[in-house]
């Protein structure tokens, strides 16, 4: 039987909580389970305001509206990221300025950012690849010096930290994903964390289709109407109920995923002598067990490794393709060579990592990789 790349984990209470949501008589958004999830994240990680969304893509699109992005504004972000990171701002008419990754890991290289800032730059978007923190102190300095907003795309970074502080709590705005491939899931789902107090009231309006409906239901206004731009970003109570069952088991999920990650690192550490790259977790960051990757020596080697593992009934995959070279964007790119982004595009391979991965299955994967390099 093939070992899949990912297998969604169910804690056991998802169905009963969904049933409870149905029995409550309210299955549209912003009900009992949505509020429970909001409260969990605000208390656990210190986010000032949290809003569940239908996806991380939706949360990113909310950040573009809240940042006031308009045609001609420039937004700096890594090229090595998922298309949603860029789409959210392109949809508002922004000029996307792609930056290179670090040579140490796929995160955006802070040393390359200042040269990209112009009077039109409005936002820097950071992606914490594999849940490993970007160098937040350095980005904070740049943001203050040039009066820029920081937005954290923390899709992979739930329960991960920078110098003891939760990722997602640094940016003016931050986004998370609960897609089935993530640590904590709701099938499809996401979340916006608002850390800028000035944006809290408006974020709720944008979330509610541009209306002050939430304030109306709290009795703060006597009627509600269309007061701003927005869309239907709320997930249903069924998604929130599923998510809350996951959150109740978060410590167990995280403990198991980190154990699997550490097993990979220990089991494959001998490959470093062959110049095969393993993930690097800087001293200022933590590892949340989201994904484990190898850096192969060339594209041909990676292709052969993936093929070899597939023959052994193990599903391994590569990851992002540099967005600055994508069919949609290639002609819009300014011509800069982003060598590290291209390097990760051609060299990085991800191994299976999910809660139900057994010790025997992981041993099979580790031994297969070691055998390939023999």
Q: Considering the domain boundaries, does residue 276 fall inside one?
A: yes
Looking at the structure, tell me whether residues 210 and 340 fall in a common domain.
Answer: no
| CATH number of the domain bearing residue 153 | 3.40.640.10
Q: Considering the domain boundaries, does residue 5 fall inside one?
A: no
The residue among 189, 150, 183 whose CA lies nearest residue 168 is: 150
What would the DSSP string read from start to end of 170-202? Answer: SSSEEEEE--TTSSS--SS-EEEEE--GGGHHH
* pLDDT under 70: residue ranges of the chain: 216-217, 222
Residue ending a domain, choose from 247, 278, 299: 247
The residue among 241, 232, 183, 177 whose CA lies nearest residue 206 is: 232
Residue ending a domain, choose from 192, 220, 247: 247
Q: Considering the domain boundaries, does residue 271 fall inside one?
A: yes
Looking at the structure, tell me whether residues 204 and 91 fall in a common domain.
Answer: yes
The residues, ordered by sequence, that sit 6+ positions from 23 with a Cβ below 8 Å of its Cβ are none
Q: Considering the domain boundaries, does residue 238 fall inside one?
A: yes
What is the pLDDT, as a whole number, of residue 224? 81
Looking at the structure, tell me whether residues 233 and 309 fall in a common domain.
Answer: no
| CATH number of the domain bearing residue 276 | 3.90.1150.10
Q: Considering the domain boundaries, does residue 9 fall inside one?
A: no
Q: Considering the domain boundaries, does residue 242 fall inside one?
A: yes
Q: Considering the domain boundaries, does residue 165 fall inside one?
A: yes
Partners of 76 in the β-ladder: 97, 124
Q: Considering the domain boundaries, does residue 1 fall inside one?
A: no
Separation of alpha carbons 27 and 337, rounded Å = 49
What is the pLDDT, as a whole number, of residue 232? 94
Residue ending a domain, choose from 219, 247, 275: 247
What is the pLDDT, as a whole number, of residue 83? 98
Looking at the structure, tell me whether residues 138 and 263 fall in a common domain.
Answer: no
Cβ pair 219, 213 in contact under 8 A: no
Looking at the structure, tell me whether residues 183 and 55 fall in a common domain.
Answer: yes
Looking at the structure, tell me whether residues 171 and 26 fall in a common domain.
Answer: yes
Looking at the structure, tell me whether residues 329 and 232 fall in a common domain.
Answer: no
Domain that holds residue 58: 14-247
The residues, ordered by sequence, that sit 6+ positions from 369 with a Cβ below 8 Å of its Cβ are 268, 271, 294, 305, 309, 351
Query: Mapped to the 3 state alphabet, what secondary structure does 46-68 carry?
Result: CCCEEEEECCHHHHHHHHHHHCC
Q: Which stretches of 147-282 are DSSP H helices? A: 200-207, 213-217, 237-247, 250-268
Separation of alpha carbons 72 and 233, rounded Å = 25
Looking at the structure, tell me whether residues 101 and 19 fall in a common domain.
Answer: yes
Looking at the structure, tell me whether residues 56 and 202 fall in a common domain.
Answer: yes
The residue among 215, 236, 241, 190 whose CA lies nearest residue 29 is: 236
What is the pLDDT, as a whole number, of residue 1? 85
Looking at the structure, tell me whether residues 46 and 181 fall in a common domain.
Answer: yes
Cβ pair 318, 296 in contact under 8 A: no
Looking at the structure, tell me whether residues 257 and 243 fall in a common domain.
Answer: no
Looking at the structure, tell me whether residues 231 and 268 fall in a common domain.
Answer: no
**How many domains would you assign to the chain?**
2
- Note the pTM of the prediction, 2 decimals: 0.95
């Amino acid at each position: 039987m093939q070992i899949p790349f990912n297998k969604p984990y169910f804690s056991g209470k998802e169905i009963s909580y969904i049933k409870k949501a149905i029995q409550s008589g309210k299955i549209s958004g912003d009900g009992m389970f949505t509020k429970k999830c909001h409260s969990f994240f605000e208390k656990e990680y210190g986010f000032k305001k949290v809003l569940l969304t239908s996806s991380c893509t939706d949360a990113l699109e909310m950040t573009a509206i809240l940042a006031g992005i308009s045609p001609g504004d420039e937004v700096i972000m890594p090229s090595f990221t998922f298309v949603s990171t860029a789409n959210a701002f392109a949809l508002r008419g922004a000029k996307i300025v792609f930056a290179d990754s670090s040579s140490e890991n796929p995160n955006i290289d802070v040393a390359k950012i200042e040269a990209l800032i112009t009077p039109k730059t409005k936002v820097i978007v950071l992606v914490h690849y594999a849940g490993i923190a970007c160098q937040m102190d350095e980005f904070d300095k740049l943001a203050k010096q040039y009066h820029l907003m920081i937005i954290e795309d923390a899709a992979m970074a739930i329960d991960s930290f920078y110098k003891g502080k939760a990722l997602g709590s640094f940016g003016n705005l931050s986004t998370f994903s609960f897609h089935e491939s993530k640590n904590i899931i709701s099938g499809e789902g996401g979340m916006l964390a608002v850390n800028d107090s000035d944006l809290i009231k408006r974020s709720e309006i944008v979330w509610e289709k541009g209306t002050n409906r939430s304030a109306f239901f709290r009795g703060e206004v006597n009627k509600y109407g269309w007061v701003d731009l927005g869309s239907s970003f709320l997930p249903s109570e069924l998604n929130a109920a599923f998510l809350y069952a996951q959150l109740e088991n978060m410590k167990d999920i995280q403990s198991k995923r980190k154990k699997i990650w550490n097993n990979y690192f220990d089991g494959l550490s001998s490959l470093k002598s062959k110049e095969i790259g393993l993930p690097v977790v800087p001293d200022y960051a933590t590892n949340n067990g989201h994904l484990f990757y190898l850096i192969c020596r060339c594209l041909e080697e990676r292709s052969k490794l993936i093929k070899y593992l597939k023959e052994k009934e193990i599903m391994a995959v590569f990851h992002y393709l540099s967005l600055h070279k994508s069919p949609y964007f290639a002609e819009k790119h300014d011509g800069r060579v982003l060598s590290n982004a291209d390097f990760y595009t051609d060299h990085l391979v991800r191994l299976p990592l999910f809660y139900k991965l057994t010790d025997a299955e992981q041993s099979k994967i580790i031994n297969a990789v070691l055998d390939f390099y023999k």
